[in-house]
Amino acid sequence: MRRPLTICLVACLCQAACVSQVHYDRCVADAAAARAQADARQKQDAARIHELEEGLSSAQATLQDRDASLSNLSTTNHNLQAQLDEATAINAQLRGELERLGHDVDKMLAERGTLSKALDDAKLRLNELRQMQAAAQAREDVFRDLGRRFKPLIDAGQLQVEMRHGRLLLVLDGGLLFDAGRTEIRTAGKGVLMELAHAMQTIPVAVGSHFLVTAYPDDRDPRDHRSKSIWPLTAARAVAVDEYLASLGVQPSALVAAATGSLDPREASAEPEHHPKMRRIEIDLVPSADEVVPVSPSPAGEGSVGRVGSDGRPSQ
């Protein structure tokens, strides 16, 4: 009876011992895991603390640099204020000295402004003179070029290249272009107009952007039997020249026709050989509005006219 009881006690004690060991091992494992977590957290905290310390050090350095900059700016501001005060004092001293000498500073400043405006006006006038010189040079170049190009016609007395009141003028012998009382262009006249058309298309705008074609009659040209006027004849001649020049390539928008209703002789003599001198076509080279500049009066007077001579050089 005792032996089975003893065996039962021993078995109970062994079972209790086994439970305590398992619990112990579990607790040890939990403690090791908790320790590992604590170590890892400690490392993270240490890294974070190190990062914060570096940020603090950088902020302190930045703060020191800012303080140094503020100190420098304060010193510079102080120096500038001192210089301004000194300049103000010198200015006041000079103003006082000028006033003692009888000069008014404000008046001097006003005179300076007047001189500045006068200088600006002089520069503007100089620019205008340069433009006038350039335009005059362009006219002279075209003047000489036309004189050389049409030298045979000039020598033959069929064409004159003139400078009248600062503008170029081509004067064609009326006898070459039209018979008396007629509005049809003669064959010989068409050849001359053909040469003129080629030249007109190369003339700079500054010299001639438009061409005013004016027809003049002579005393042998008949008047209109109804109106008793010479206007219809001269107008028809001017239009005929414009239309022929346009057919040769001259821009129609650049051509203007004009007619005269009274005699305007170019020769004082009324001899028959001078009639074609009165019956003529004048082509006035009109510059563009932007290129028009004042022309100084000629020493020879308002009515003076420059012509190209037979040698291709300007003459009076």
Average pLDDT over all residues of the chain: 77
Percentage of the chain lying above the pLDDT 70 cut: 73
Q: Which of 42-46, 133-137, 153-157, 172-176 has the lowest mean pLDDT?
A: 133-137
- Beta-carbon count within 10 A of 184 CB: 12
pLDDT at 182 over 60: yes
What per-residue confidence (pLDDT) applies to 23?
81
Domain at 131-315, CATH homologous superfamily: OmpA-like domain (3.30.1330.60)
What per-residue confidence (pLDDT) applies to 240?
94
CA 145 from chain center: how many Å?
Answer: 30
pLDDT at 44 over 70: yes
Listed in sequence order, the residues at least 6 apart from 239 whose beta carbon sits closer than 8 Å to its beta carbon are 257
pLDDT in tens, 202-218: 887 766 778 899 998 87
What per-residue confidence (pLDDT) applies to 316?
46
Between helices 105-149 and 187-200, what is the axis angle to 10°?
140
Residue 140 belongs to what H/E stretch? Answer: helix 105-149
pLDDT band at 300 (very low <50, low <70, confident <90, very high): very low
Between helices 187-200 and 231-247, what is the axis angle to 10°?
60
pLDDT band at 193 (very low <50, low <70, confident <90, very high): very high
Q: Which of 127-136, 260-269, 277-286 has the lowest mean pLDDT?
A: 260-269
- C-alpha 288/C-alpha 211 separation (Å) is 11
pLDDT in tens, 61-114: 888 888 888 888 888 888 888 888 888 888 888 887 777 766 666 676 777 778
pLDDT band at 310 (very low <50, low <70, confident <90, very high): very low
What per-residue confidence (pLDDT) applies to 164?
79
Task: Name the CA dihedral angle for 201, 203, 207, 210, rounded to a multiple of 10 degrees.
Answer: -10
pTM above 0.75, yes or no: no
What per-residue confidence (pLDDT) applies to 15?
55
Query: Is-contact 195 150, C-beta < 8 A?
Result: yes
- Beta-carbon count within 10 A of 201 CB: 13
More confident position, 305 or 149: 149
Quick one: tokens of 256? 């203007």
CA 49 from chain center: how many Å?
Answer: 67
Domain chopping of the chain, boundaries: 131-315
Strand partners, 114: none
Quick one: tokens of 3? 């032996």
What per-residue confidence (pLDDT) applies to 226?
59
pLDDT in tens, 201-257: 888 776 677 889 999 887 665 655 555 678 888 899 999 999 999 999 999 998 999
